[in-house]
Amino acid sequence: MDSRLDGIDEVLLMGPGPSCVPDEVYRALSRKTLGHLDPYFIGIMDDVKRMLQRVMMTGNRLTIPVSGTGSAGMEACFVNLVEPGDRVLVLVNGVFGLRMQDVASRLGAEVDSLEFEWGTPVRVERVAEKLRAADYKIVAMVHAETSTGVRNPAAEVGRLLEGSRSLYLLDAVTSLGGIEVATDAWGVDALYSGSQKCLSTPPGLAPLSFSGRALETVMARKSKVPNWYLDVGMITKYWEGKARFYHHTAPVNMIYALHQALSLILEEGLEHVFARHLENHRRLVAGLEKLGVEMLVEPESRLPMLNSVRIPEGTDDKAVRGRLRADYKIEIGAGLGPLAGKIWRFGLMGHTARPENVDSLLSALKAILV
């Protein structure tokens, strides 16, 4: 029987994720499935934990991939830490900050937020002001706002929270593996990411890390975590210790793929990986300038792995994206929310961040935008 799967093209993934996947990772993904309690598989799980700790720069014991995509990581952080009535401050400057508000509100949190113009970063002095005025159980921010391409001041917000009782929750979905994410040094208590961005694994896993303080907060809850599937107390019993208690069946093959992807990153070396992202970002920005295409974000707040540009006036957004996909097999990202129709988002994440890819995109844009 002819299958639609036979028609899958190799597309150059230069949108906001998923990113290009190295061949070694595809091979890992299709290795023979083992049981989720198999002793050999548990060795693979232990490797993944150790490698995630290195990439996240943390000694947190609770460092695991959650069995879902990046948004499941967000959900897992909030659902474990929030109890009804808890005060949560969310710093919002894009879609993923808004999503945090929604997730926390659904769980009965009293959500307060501080908004910043989309395309600009969170301003630390305004956060400081807010923190002087009220106490929060959780302060939550997106490190790399995928909807705009803005890098938020994660280290600085961490410093503000030093010595406070607030837990620091950081979304590192797009940043992890592309720029420094110093979980422990920044005092982050709950961090999550996604496999399909700079880790260059297909979508399906959400690496997550909880500090000792965050774990104590979970253990001291008055009510059970209102989400059995994402209860980190139970998940930890599967990922830790000698007796591995069955919780849910882990996505075995996805974990193989993540294992391979983390190995590749650590072999290349985190510093080299970050430098590669930066170099390719610079190459892209220089090329875009030549084409007269303007960046949305000011240089000091730009993310190397997510480049938002203003759609040139008079240009048909959809038509350009359609031609890139159809004629050049390149995927780029559209604008979201208030930026829909106004920007494009060019991803240079993980395996996508290579000069030949930057050049392919630039020459395609040059041909289309004449």
Among residues 20, 52, 150, 306, which is the contact residue for a copy of itself, using CB under 8 A?
20
Would you count residue 107 as binding a copy of itself (CB under 8 A)?
yes
Would you count residue 114 as binding a copy of itself (CB under 8 A)?
no
Would you count residue 356 as binding a copy of itself (CB under 8 A)?
no
Would you count residue 248 as binding a copy of itself (CB under 8 A)?
yes
What are the helix (H) ranges across the chain?
23-29, 39-56, 70-81, 95-106, 124-133, 154-161, 212-219, 232-239, 252-268, 270-290, 317-328, 355-369
What span, in angstroms and rounded, lies between the C-alpha atoms of 341 and 251? Answer: 37
Q: Which of residues 261-320 bind a copy of itself (CB under 8 A)?
A: 263, 267
Q: Which of residues 167-186 bind a copy of itself (CB under 8 A)?
A: none
Q: Which of residues 147-166 bind a copy of itself (CB under 8 A)?
A: none
Minimum separation from the CB atom of position 282 to a copy of itself (A): 25
Query: Which range touches a copy of itself (CB under 8 A), out of 129-137, 209-217, 256-264, 285-293?
Result: 256-264
Minimum separation from the CB atom of position 175 to a copy of itself (A): 16
Minimum separation from the CB atom of position 289 to a copy of itself (A): 27
Minimum separation from the CB atom of position 198 to a copy of itself (A): 14
What span, in angstroms and rounded, lies between the C-alpha atoms of 45 and 170? Answer: 24
Q: Are 55 and 178 in contact (CB under 8 A)?
A: no
Query: Which range touches a copy of itself (CB under 8 A), out of 212-220, 254-262, 270-278, 354-362?
Result: 254-262
Q: Which of 74, 72, 80 is nearest to 225 (CA)?
A: 80
Q: Which of residues 53-72 bind a copy of itself (CB under 8 A)?
A: 67-72
180 φ/ψ sector (left φ>0, alpha ψ -120 to 50, else beta)? beta
Q: Which of 342, 316, 317, 331 is nearest to 364 (CA)?
A: 331
Would you count residue 134 as binding a copy of itself (CB under 8 A)?
no
Minimum separation from the CB atom of position 134 to a copy of itself (A): 24
Q: Are 236 and 209 in contact (CB under 8 A)?
A: no
Q: Are 211 and 91 in contact (CB under 8 A)?
A: no
Question: Is the sign of the CA dihedral 292, 296, 299, 303 positive or negative?
Answer: negative
Among residues 47, 180, 240, 317, which is the contact residue for a copy of itself, using CB under 8 A?
47
Q: Provide the CB-side half-sphere exposure for 303 (13 A, CA).
A: 41
**In this structure, how many other beta carbons lie within 10 angstroms of the beta carbon of residue 227?**
15
Minimum separation from the CB atom of position 37 to a copy of itself (A): 8
Q: Are 100 and 142 in contact (CB under 8 A)?
A: yes
Among residues 52, 55, 62, 79, which is the contact residue for a copy of itself, using CB under 8 A?
79
Q: Which of residues 197-236 bind a copy of itself (CB under 8 A)?
A: 202-204, 224-229
